[in-house]
Amino acid sequence: MLVKEEKKLMTYKNFPMVPRVVFGRGSFNQLDEILSPKRRNPQASFIFLVDDVFKGKAWLTSRIPLSYGDEILYISAKEEPKTSQVDEIVEQIILSSKERPSGIIGVGGGTILDLAKAVSILLTNEGSASEYQGWDLVKNPAIYHVGIPTISGTGAEVSRTTVLTGPDRKLGINSDYTPFDQVILDPELTKDVPRQQWFYTGMDCYIHCVESLNGTYLNAFSQSYGEKAFELCKEIFVYDKLSEKETQDKLMMASWHGGMSIAYSQVGVAHAMSYGLSYLLGTKHGIGNCIVFDHLEEFYPNGVALFKDMKKKHSIELPQGICENLNDDEFDIMINVALSLVPLWENAIGKDWKKTITPEKLRSLYEKM
Ligand code: NAD
Ligand code: ZN
């Protein structure tokens, strides 16, 4: 019996990584040479899911190599991605394509990257995206999919999940088939990110590091990536001695390392509570994390103190009072979403997290936001 228990404890995560990655300014130009060998036949097109912020931006769109029946679908990133949106895009692709596409290429931030991952899965797996929210529910390998981030911080380019808001929950499709087959990291693509958004998405990376490095799931693997990402975040957001290009390069690598860190540990309190905000109020991930993290001194004293310094340094004013007019039912919805994220709490507080993380406790925190 004891031997069996010990064996169970010895089971470690065997997680998939992105098998191919290009990094470098201007590497976006290599897209054609990367994709060409992956075209199955002239009828099997490539579908580019592109953030609609790039519509009419020829410096980017003219470099998307379109041939045969390849198509660009412009997609808004104003709202968090939804399972219904994935279903609609999949239906649109099936109806307009002669056969299964050769690949899906996502060009954008976390929102577009997550949609690209989910669409590539749903093109080979029947039913609605909502049926696959959870852990390891995907049965068939996704079609070839490529991620090209245009804003840095989420780590979505490297992760094993695609976070979606579904009919009854906000939860990722976590599976071995989720990670991209190819990622192109071209920091130049981030040059026009608006300043506030740059901060919010960058802070997503910073918060990944704080939550990973201060969690009970921490191990040497996640620590080594987390510490590197944390240092890079400090270089970028605190010391502020870098050129614009260095900042873009380093934040792109911080995002990657932060994503690698949480892949082998977990996020924590800010993410659990931010999912609640996002589910009820539609608050976007980056800003939602910032709003929550600002009030988490008791959990992450050093991390929050430094966050407040960075906020000040970059003149960021976070929205206040977003929970002011919520009723009891609405608070309960957010609290239940947050409490359902068991691994996040276990990582943050430990196995007996339920002793301190009660609905009342979460209500008192949400009331401050
Ligand atoms: P985003 O994709 O939502 O984009 C934020 C804003 O920046 C949008 O208005 C977008 O149009 C704009 N933008 C993006 N690139 C730009 C550019 N180069 N120039 C000008 N504007 C640009 O932002 P995000 O913070 O990267 O992504 C958030 C999403 O990522 C959330 O949906 C979240 O759930 C998800 N996420 C996923 C993971 C994962 O592991 N899969 C991890 C963290 C977050
Ligand atoms: Zn995050």
What element of type H or E holds 120? helix 110-122
State whether 207 and 88 are in the same domain: no
Which domain-ending residue is among 190, 221, 253? 190
CATH classification of the domain holding 264:
1.20.1090.10
State whether 200 and 181 are in the same domain: no
For residue 81 and ligand 1, the question of a CB distance below 6 A is answered with yes
Residue 103 domain flag? yes
**Res 342: pLDDT:** 94
Residue tagged 């919805």 (tokens): 333
State whether 143 and 210 are in the same domain: no
| Nearest atom, ligand 1, residue 163 CA | 34
Asked whether the predicted pLDDT for residue 237 surpasses 50, the reply is yes
Tens of pLDDT along 307-335?
Answer: 999 999 999 999 999 999 999 999 999 99
| Nearest atom, ligand 1, residue 52 CA | 11
pLDDT tier at 272, thresholds 50, 70, 90: very high
In the predicted model, what is the mean pLDDT of the chain? 96
**Res 4: pLDDT:** 54
State whether 213 and 335 are in the same domain: yes
Residue 356 domain flag? yes
Q: Best substitution site from 163, 208, 264, 290 to test ligand 1's pocket, by max atoms within 8 Å of Cβ?
A: 163
| Nearest atom, ligand 1, residue 81 CA | 32
What's the 274 CA to ligand 2 centre distance in angstroms? Answer: 9
Question: pLDDT exceeding 70 applies to what percent of the chain?
Answer: 98
pLDDT tier at 100, thresholds 50, 70, 90: very high
Residue 5 domain flag? no
State whether 304 and 182 are in the same domain: no
State whether 249 and 287 are in the same domain: yes
Structure tokens at 253: 């690598």
State whether 94 and 122 are in the same domain: yes
Give counts: helices (H), strands (E), the chain.
14, 9
Residue 1 domain flag? no
For residue 159 and ligand 1, the question of a CB distance below 6 A is answered with yes
Query: Are 337 and 279 contacting, i.e. CB atoms less than 8 angstroms apart?
Result: yes
Residue 93 domain flag? yes
CATH classification of the domain holding 96:
3.40.50.1970
Mean pLDDT of 176-186: 98
Question: Residue 98 belongs to what domain range?
Answer: 20-190
Structure tokens at 180: 């991209």
Residue tagged 């380093």 (tokens): 250
State whether 156 and 68 are in the same domain: yes
State whether 204 and 324 are in the same domain: yes
- Residue 35, C-beta contacts closer than 8 angstroms, at least 6 positions apart: 46, 65, 102, 103, 105, 146
Structure tokens at 261: 């860190």
State whether 39 and 171 are in the same domain: yes
What is the rounded distance in angstroms from the CA atom of residue 133 to the CA atom of residue 152? 25
Asked whether the predicted pLDDT for residue 190 surpasses 60, the reply is yes
Tens of pLDDT along 142-157?
Answer: 999 999 999 999 999 9
Residue 329 domain flag? yes
**Res 1: pLDDT:** 44
State whether 179 and 209 are in the same domain: no
Domains identified in the chain, total number: 2
What is the rounded distance in angstroms from the CA atom of residue 151 to the CA atom of residue 158? 14
pLDDT tier at 2, thresholds 50, 70, 90: very low
Asked whether the predicted pLDDT for residue 6 surpasses 70, the reply is no
Which domain-ending residue is among 190, 206, 228? 190
For residue 286 and ligand 1, the question of a CB distance below 6 A is answered with yes
Residue 29 domain flag? yes
Report how far apart, in Å, the C-alpha atoms of 98 and of each of 46, 125, 280 are. 12, 18, 39
State whether 215 and 345 are in the same domain: yes
Which domain-ending residue is among 147, 164, 190? 190
Give the residue among 184, 180, 174, 90 at the shortest CA–CA distance from 142. Answer: 180
**Other CB atoms within 10 A of residue 10 CB:** 7
For residue 181 and ligand 1, the question of a CB distance below 6 A is answered with no
Q: Where are the alpha helices (DSSP H) in 264-367?
A: 269-281, 285-293, 301-313, 328-339, 342-349, 359-367
Question: pLDDT exceeding 90 applies to what percent of the chain?
Answer: 94
Asked whether the predicted pLDDT for residue 169 surpasses 90, the reply is no
Residue 100 domain flag? yes
